[in-house]
Amino acid sequence: MPTPPLTRKEIKLALGTLPGWKFAKNTLAKEFKFGSFREAMSFMVRAGFEAEAMDHHPDWTNVYNRVAVRLNTHDAGGRVTAKDIALAKCLQRISWVD
């Protein structure tokens, strides 16, 4: 069964607990800036294991020390769901940068 999309009010409330995350174009997004390429890759590997365990995978890119993450749920029509909030909270928890 697909996960239902959240309302704008629910998303805004959740963003209050997610420093640096933004909501635009039906996507939660954040860019993490690490001290080096190695740190960025380390974060991506750890995040990949967490995302796989949640069976919810980010749309992300890496350029040197930066990791840009975008989250929405495909089976909810590309809208933000509780699964996206949960993964954003997880990424925030395992990150050592703001």
**Backbone φ, ψ for residue 51 (5° rounding):** -65, -40
Give the predicted TM-score (pTM) of the model: 0.94
Q: What does the pLDDT read at residue 2?
A: 74
* Residue 93 burial (10 A CB sphere; 0-12, 13-18, 19+): exposed
The full length of the chain comes to 98
What would the pLDDT profile of 7-22 be if each residue is shown by its tens digit?
999 999 999 999 999 9
pLDDT at 98 over 80: no
What would the pLDDT profile of 57-95 be if each residue is shown by its tens digit?
999 999 999 999 999 999 999 999 999 999 999 999 999
Q: What is the spatial distance between Cα 55 and Cα 96, in angstroms, rounded to a whole number?
A: 23
- Domains in the chain and their CATH numbers? 8-94 (3.30.1360.20)
Average pLDDT over residues 16-32: 96
pLDDT at 1 over 90: no
